[in-house]
Amino acid sequence: MKKEMQEKLEYYYHRITSNLALFAKWMFISSIVGIVVGVISSAFAFSMKAVTDYRLEHPNIIYLLPLAGCFIVLLYALFRYKNDKGTNLVLSTIHAESEIPFKMAPLIFISTVTTHLFGGSAGREGAALQLGGSIGNQLGRWLKLDEPDTRVIVMCGMSAAFSAVFGTPMAAAIFSLEVVSVGVMYYAALMPCIFSSIIASMFSARMGIDTESFEILHIPALHIIPCFKVILLAMICALLSVVFCMMLHGTGDLFRKYIKNPYFRILFSSCLILILTKLLGTADYLGAGIPVIEKSIHQMQVEPLAFFWKMVFTTLTLEAGFKGGEIVPSFFIGASFGCIFGTIMGISPSLCASTGMIAVFCGVTNCPITSMFISFELFGFEGVPFFLIAISVSYLMSGYYGLYADQTIVYSKYKTKYVNRKTHD
């Protein structure tokens, strides 16, 4: 009896000391990732704000967009980095199917800033994910981590960069765990991703990086009719998310098939963007489009086809070879359509714009938990029932489409069934 008790005590002692050592290890690593990625991502956020302000003050700079495109193609050629998979490469690294080269970090930093300076229609979070993943992978090499731990530190880098740039640490921590494999989350990375995300967010806040937040002007009572309207909005947003993904992947395939020269491809797309900008008579669809998102939610006024034109501009920008992200454009699409939907259907356009943002984001990323957290951080908790309804409907109705071809659908969206397939490309 005494021997059994001693063995149990030794076992528990071993488990406690082992867990404490593991906690200390990941506390140290996640702190390093949070600080390093927080510093670089804050510099990235400052640069993005500076070039966006400059472009708004000097609108004629967009005429240099074709030259900017050629510069980006040349930059990647000089670094001998021709097969750029973007965020897909980060996901592929976590799947242990490939490895992110460290040169991806300066390349995505410079090329994304260049894209925004000259008016390319793109977001910044996709670039932040690539930036953070690349830095995390390099830190893993320097720290001589094994392959499973390297995957964790890559996810830490993604969370830290997303958090620092966008100011949503809860959503950032969960996003990198959820986006890789739909239906299965890498819980081993939960604590490191949360710590690195919060540390990076605190650092960027102290550096003066503004966090995004929006105030919903009117939220109706939770009754059957408003719920039905939100369900309909979420169903249409799910369709929009599928169309957006199809446009991105389909246009990319067409460009690569018919315009094989990357310089001609980016020149052709740049000229189309300039022509459309002139014909439409607005620069609303250039850059990330945050002012239009704010206008949709706060002023409840937006052009009826703004969501469509943002799809077109973003597709032409990213699939031609410019760099950036798809997440803020998806916010733009959802917010602008939601505002129009609310006006037509007689329900708060401000609430519908906010709900549309979250529904399209969920549809293109297949990340319902992240969508919940991001709705909390951007809009507060008053509209939570409507957000949850929209997220659940959009997740179901968007099917197996997604922004990232290397995202794996592990378990079916429709049944408790193992499917293990990639998203539609």
What are the angstrom distances between the C-alpha of 389 and each of 6, 218, 334, 395? 53, 18, 15, 10
User: For residue 379, what pLDDT is reported?
Assistant: 93
pLDDT at 334: 97
Residues 296 and 377 in one domain: yes
- Please tell me whether residues 247 and 125 are part of one structural domain: no
Q: Where does a domain end: 145, 177, 206?
A: 206
Same domain, 21 and 81: yes
Q: What is the CATH number of the domain that holds 340?
A: 1.10.3080.10
Which residues are within 8 A (CB) of 423 and not within 5 positions of it... i.e. 6 or more apart? Answer: 245, 366, 400, 401, 402, 404, 405, 407, 409
Question: Of 175, 140, 114, which Cα lies nearest the Cα of 37?
Answer: 140
Looking at the structure, tell me whether residues 194 and 296 fall in a common domain: no
Could you tell me how far CA 78 lies from the centroid of its own chain?
27
- Whole-angstrom Cα distance, residue 283 to residue 303? 13
In a domain, 5, yes or no: no
Spatial contact of 170 and 369, defined as CB atoms under 8 Å apart: no
Alpha carbons within 13 A on the beta-carbon side of 168: 22
* Tens digit of pLDDT at every position of the chain (425 positions): 666 777 677 777 778 888 898 999 999 999 999 999 999 999 999 999 999 999 999 999 999 999 999 999 999 888 877 656 666 667 666 655 567 778 788 888 999 999 999 999 998 877 888 888 888 888 998 998 988 898 899 999 999 999 998 888 999 999 999 988 888 888 889 999 999 999 999 988 888 787 777 889 889 999 999 999 999 999 999 999 999 999 998 998 899 889 989 999 999 999 999 999 999 999 999 999 999 999 999 887 899 999 999 999 999 999 998 998 889 999 999 999 999 999 999 999 999 999 999 999 999 999 999 999 999 999 989 999 999 999 999 999 999 998 887 788 888 888 888 888 888 74
Q: Is residue 211 part of a domain?
A: no
In a domain, 60, yes or no: yes
The answer to the question of residue 216 being in a domain is no
- Which of 206, 236, 265 lies at the terminal end of a domain, its last residue? 206
Residue 46 lies in a domain: yes
Q: How far apart are the first and last CA of the chain?
A: 62
Query: Does 201 fall in a domain?
Result: yes
Identify whether residues 278 and 397 lie together within a single domain. Answer: yes
Closest by CA position to 389, among listed 415, 359, 366, 369 = 359
Q: Is residue 272 in some structural domain?
A: yes
Q: Are residues 202 and 230 in the same domain?
A: no
Residue with tokens 């990086």: 209
Q: Do 261 and 175 fall into the same domain? A: no
Residue finishing a domain among 155, 173, 206: 206
Q: Are residues 67 and 155 in the same domain?
A: yes
Strand arrangement of the beta sheet that strand 418-422 belongs to: 181-182, 408-411, 418-422
pLDDT for 97 = 57
Bridge partners (DSSP) of residue 60 are none
Residue 102 lies in a domain: yes
User: Which residues touch 416 (CB under 8 Å, ≥6 apart)?
Assistant: none
CA 248 – CA 372 distance, rounded (Å):
25
pTM, to two decimals: 0.92
**Are 293 and 164 found together in one domain?**
no
Residues 348 and 232 in one domain: yes
Total domains in the chain come to 2
Range of the domain at 270: 224-422
182 shares its domain with 267: no
User: Do 201 and 279 sit in the same domain of this protein?
Assistant: no
